[in-house]
Structure 1
Amino acid sequence: MIEEKIKSIGINIPVPPTPAGSYIPLVKTGNLLYVSGQIPLQDGKVAFTGKVSDENIETAQKSARICAINILAQLKKELGDLEKISRFVRLSGFVNSVPEFTQHPKVINAASDLLYEIFGDVGKHTRIAVGVSSLPLNSMTEIDAIVEIK
């Protein structure tokens, strides 16, 4: 059902991106999965780079959405079946923004809304959304996740 929902909204879950540093993409402990921060990588390249400001919020939202899709890719690789997810517990969203930008939640909402659209109540989660002075590879956004599995 989840896979069908994903396809119905026009998303193809990609092969998960390779870590850009000395870490692993996911750790399982008990019934929790901790997904490392995902940047907006598509086809091996950062799709959205640079600083977020009031003038490019929609672009930053696209960036956050790709981060969420990459989280799903990591989960799919680990679990094989996204139906095994019982709850998204938390997202931590980072926005590479100019100092005066204050709409970080609006940017990260794109990821949160996508998870709710796909998973319904299972996709509801706690969250932080913060602005930072830079992100790896100059990406606009980075998001990590904590997910509970059945």
Structure 2
Amino acid sequence: MSVYDKLQDQGITLPPVAMPAAAYVPFVRTGNLVFLSGHIAKKDGKAWVGQLGRNMSTDEGKHAARAIAVDLLGTLHAAVGDLNKVKRIVKVMSLVNSTPDYTEQHLVTNGASELFSIVFGESGQHARSAFGVAQLPMGACVEIELIAEVA
């Protein structure tokens, strides 16, 4: 089953690449690696604003992380032209806008990690970091960046 069939089974349509909000590019390819810039969570086309541990639950954060994963897949598709060329999701780094006493950043990030495993199977399993941070651009609740290996 192709990656696109798996996306369709999940009811996912890939979005176009979002234009950067500052002085950077959405992705850089070097050799067989593609580095995707951080993508913030969006809801209804705007930054998904919130802080875990204050006004957002872990479950809401997990949904935000999954939404980011969909955006990242759209950018990765633009970078390589065909997601079936992805050999492996290598690394995911997640920044979670959270209160100092919030400790479930890893569970929030599972929203993205689980989708990558569904879409790419074993090749979607990756190394990962999940950090709690005091604030993110535009007040977003989560930001995630990704490194992928491609054929």
Task: Give the whole-Å Cα distance in 1 for the aligned partners of 2:44 and 2:31.
Answer: 32
CA contact (8 A) 1:36 1:144 kept: yes
Offset at residue 43 of structure 1 (A): 5.6
Q: How does 1:1-150 map to 2 (within 5 A)?
A: 1-41=2-42, 44-46=45-47, 48-53=48-53, 56-150=57-151
TM-score by length of 2: 0.94
CA contact (8 A) 1:95 1:141 kept: yes
CA contact (8 A) 2:76 2:83 kept: yes
Identity of aligned residues (%): 37
AA in 1 matched with 2:116: L
AA in 1 matched with 2:53: S
TM-score by length of 1: 0.95
Per-residue deviation, residues 39-91 of structure 1 (Å, max 9, x unmatched)? 11356412x21111186111111111111111101011121210010000000
Offset at residue 99 of structure 1 (A): 0.8
Q: Which runs of no fewer than 5 residues in structure 1 stay unpaired?
A: none
Q: CA RMSD in A?
A: 1.3
AA in 2 matched with 1:122: S
CA contact (8 A) 1:91 1:144 kept: yes
CA contact (8 A) 1:17 1:41 kept: no
Task: Give the whole-Å Cα distance in 1 for the aligned partners of 2:142 and 2:5.
Answer: 27
Give aligned pairs, total.
Answer: 149
CA contact (8 A) 1:17 1:44 kept: no
